[in-house]
Amino acid sequence: MTARSLPPSVIATLPGSYYTDENIFALEQARVFETMWFCVARASDLGRPGAFRTVQVGRESVLVTRARDGSIRAFLNVCRHRGARIRTEESGEVKRSFQCPYHAWTYDLEGKLIAAPNLTRMPDIDRVEYGLINVHVREWIGYVWVCLADEPPSFEADVIAEATHRLGDERSIENYDIANLRVGRRIVYDVKANWKLIVENFMECYHCATIHPELTEVLPEFADGYAAQSFVGHGAEFGEEIRGFTVDGSEGVDRIPGVGEDQDRRYYAITIKPQVFVNLVPDHVILHRMFPLAADRTIVECDWLFLGDVVDSGRDLGPSVELFHRVNVQDFEACERCQPAMNSRAYAEGGVLVPSEHHIGAFHEWVLDRLGTGPG
Ligand code: FES
Ligand code: FE
């Protein structure tokens, strides 16, 4: 992949500049995040008409809301008059419209321009034409996905098939009924690292033995360093003494009813490119969404989803949440440790992948293919 001459069995990583160069990041914004389906919010974050969230998708701020008919809508967060941001908060709720704070142009929850001071004296302003710019929206497994492309790629092929093909039929992701689970806990991490370092880290478990003592206690096969998280289609089995996917191996909470016998006592991990990770265990689901903000900064929003009854019961979710929270902190520290070194001349041509990390090479090929560049 690089100009280095390496033995055929050794795969090079991307050069360090791919993790630091603002031009490459801009290309990724345009050709990855603004072109593919991008997961922005839990549908329950938009509980009622008028509830909204603002999220960064590539170079754009996107305003996501629930319209009066209950459907979810998404718009570019830009007033059509003189370009003010409609909303700057991360989340909130309006009654029935969005009013731009600059000159008070007002848009309904479907994005149509419904009022503007003196609009009657400006008959040439078409209220539909000057509505907020819509972006494509899909809802799946209880999450809202948007696509900024004029013609979005197939959601079925790029998201659903990508998420399901790793597990066999009887081990379907559908068994977890993710759409109907409830957010028991959400933690937002501000990671000072390039988004690809976070994806690559999630794709391999070579590091598990070194940095994840609690996780390898629960999943002993991760201790040998060979398990590749994105490829654990067979599921990683809990250790014999382990009673639940918890920080101390203690009993978890109520099992999700659809989880079959062969999925019980197992952990599955799925990567949905470019920015979602799904972790499945018998009694909860952990879903990460990444929001890349700069070449060296990524916000990661992580939800722990449980049965509604479990959340309502007020049961202590702490031991369940704490396990993957520690894994997250350990992983993100590792990514932040790598990020500053990406600029070093020692990494100008990148590093190398050991055999258990070879699918990271496939991820790099995918990135280069999307960007239409070679590592130069
Ligand atoms: Fe929004 Fe003028 S910029 S009303
Ligand atoms: Fe890890």
Ligand 1 pocket check for 141: Cβ under 6 Å: no
| For the CA of 79, the nearest atom of ligand 1 | 1
Sign of CA dihedral 324, 328, 329, 333: positive
Strand partners, 75: 63, 134
How many Å apart are CA 121 and CA 237, to the nearest integer?
70
* Single-letter residue type at 355: P
Ligand 1 pocket check for 82: Cβ under 6 Å: yes
Ligand 1 pocket check for 223: Cβ under 6 Å: no
Ligand 1 pocket check for 278: Cβ under 6 Å: no
How many Å apart are CA 204 and CA 45, to the nearest integer?
31
* pTM of the predicted protein model: 0.94
How many Å apart are CA 107 and CA 128, to the nearest integer?
10
Q: What is the ipTM of this complex?
A: 0.97
- Strand ranges of the sheet holding 136-140, from the earlier edge strand across to the other edge: 38-42, 143-147, 136-140
Q: Are 269 and 241 in contact (CB under 8 A)?
A: no
Query: Parallel, antiparallel, or unpaired for β 297-306 and 91-93?
Result: unpaired
Q: Hey, which of 100, 106, 118, 119 would you mutate to test ligand 1's pocket, going by the most ligand atoms within 8 Å of its Cβ?
A: 100
DSSP 135-190: -EEEEETTEEEEE-SSSPPPHIIIIIHHHHTTS-GGG-GGGG-GGG-EEEEEEEEE
Q: Are 212 and 229 in contact (CB under 8 A)?
A: no
How many Å apart are CA 4 and CA 334, to the nearest integer?
26
Of the bound ligands, which one is closest to the alpha carbon of residue 130?
1
Tokens describing residue 320 = 């369940």
Ligand 1 pocket check for 98: Cβ under 6 Å: no
How many Å apart are CA 11 and CA 2, to the nearest integer?
10
| For the CA of 105, the nearest atom of ligand 1 | 4
- The residues near 286 (Cβ < 8 Å, ≥ 6 apart) are 278, 279, 302, 303, 304, 305, 324
How many Å apart are CA 44 and CA 14, to the nearest integer?
38
Residue 158 burial (CB count, 10 A): 18
Residue with CA nearest ligand 1 atom 4: 103
Residue with CA nearest ligand 1 atom 2: 103
Ligand 1 pocket check for 115: Cβ under 6 Å: no
How many Å apart are CA 170 and CA 262, to the nearest integer?
8
Ligand 1 pocket check for 102: Cβ under 6 Å: yes
Place of tokens 């370009």: 83
Tokens describing residue 325 = 């929270």
Q: What is the pLDDT of residue 233?
A: 63
Ligand 2 centroid to residue 288 C-alpha, Å: 13
Tell me 244's DSSP state: S
Sign of CA dihedral 143, 146, 147, 150: positive
How many Å apart are CA 73 and CA 41, to the nearest integer?
12
How many Å apart are CA 230 and CA 6, to the nearest integer?
26
Sequence length of the chain is: 376
Q: What is the pLDDT of residue 2?
A: 47
Tokens describing residue 40 = 């922005």
Q: What is the pLDDT of residue 125?
A: 74
Strand partners, 239: none
**172, 337, 190, 194: which is closest to 262 by C-alpha?**
172
Residue 300 burial (CB count, 10 A): 23
How many Å apart are CA 194 and CA 18, to the nearest integer?
9
What values do phi and psi take at 267, rounded to 5? -115, 130
Ligand 1 pocket check for 366: Cβ under 6 Å: no
Tokens describing residue 62 = 């996107």
Ligand 1 pocket check for 79: Cβ under 6 Å: yes
Ligand 1 pocket check for 96: Cβ under 6 Å: no
Q: Residue ranges of the chain with pLDDT lower than 50?
A: 1-2, 230, 376
Sign of CA dihedral 110, 58, 158, 153: positive
| For the CA of 84, the nearest atom of ligand 1 | 3
How many Å apart are CA 79 and CA 102, to the nearest integer?
9
Strand partners, 42: 143
Ligand 2 centroid to residue 100 C-alpha, Å: 43
| For the CA of 100, the nearest atom of ligand 1 | 1
Ligand 1 pocket check for 85: Cβ under 6 Å: no
